[in-house]
Structure 1
Amino acid sequence: MKPTQHPTRRNAFTVVLGIGIAILPATAQAYVGPGAGLTAIGTMVALFAALILALVGFVWYPVKRLMRTAKAPTKASERTEPRE
């Protein structure tokens, strides 16, 4: 036997689908002026730059700190030498 959906679920889905299709516009009648367009482009560029700089901050600076500590002589090795 094939499982069937409950009639109220099918009706609810049909109503939601119908409302969704009814509120969709056929065409977008919109105009983005030059000021709004440049603002949107600038915002996207700033967001992209912020993401890149955040990635650099989380990756580069800890690596830089590790490189600096690897180059510096450790004072613990100087203490282990025998005194004269």
Structure 2
Amino acid sequence: MAKKSDISWKKDNPSTFLNNSVQKADRAVKQVMSHPEEIAVEHAFNSIAHAENALSNAEERQEHMNTAEQSKEQLAMIKQQLHEADEIMNK
């Protein structure tokens, strides 16, 4: 059974949450690139939004700033890939 805590693990470990969120966004964008469907695109945009929120939280808490900077760069690349896939889909 899960241990109950006053503060969620996401707030306790913002850099871990950030890494997980960026990985999830990356998988979602890869899904769009291999299966360009509207629901997949929406899911990818939502995943990126969650990752951006996690990045903001990590930066606010100044958690592992070198990791946060790497995640920020990876997230920018993921957003570019999604934008390109979305353009191809809408042609």
TM-score (norm 2): 0.29
* Greater relative CO (CA pairs within 8 A, separation 6+): 2
Larger C-alpha radius of gyration, 1 or 2? Answer: 1
Between Structure 1 and Structure 2, which shows a larger proportion of helix residues? 2
TM-score (norm 1): 0.31
